[in-house]
Amino acid sequence: MSVKIEVMRERCMGAGNCAEVSPDYFDQDSIDGTVVLLRSDVEPGDENEVETAADVCPVAAILLKSTAASV
């Protein structure tokens, strides 16, 4: 199983919690502060960090999707 990240920028309010918790995956737009997804594929071992980033989003703008690993 692998994890992919999806973001809903239209829902984002620019709190920046995700970028603080997981700066390798999230940043903020320099104009409006909304989430910028840096990488959509979560590296093995980073799942807890990315899940925490999704959990601290006050408007649930981050979705994590489990996908079957390619063989």
Query: pTM for the whole thing?
Result: 0.90
CATH class of the 2-67 domain in this structure: alpha beta
Q: Domain boundaries in the chain?
A: 2-67
Contact 12, 18 (CB under 8 A): no
pLDDT of the residue at 67: 85
In this prediction, residue 69 has a pLDDT band, given cuts at 50, 70 and 90, of low
Q: How many CB atoms lie within 10 A of CB 19?
A: 19
**What does the pLDDT look like over 19-62, one tens digit per residue?**
999 999 999 999 999 999 999 999 999 999 999 999 999 999 99
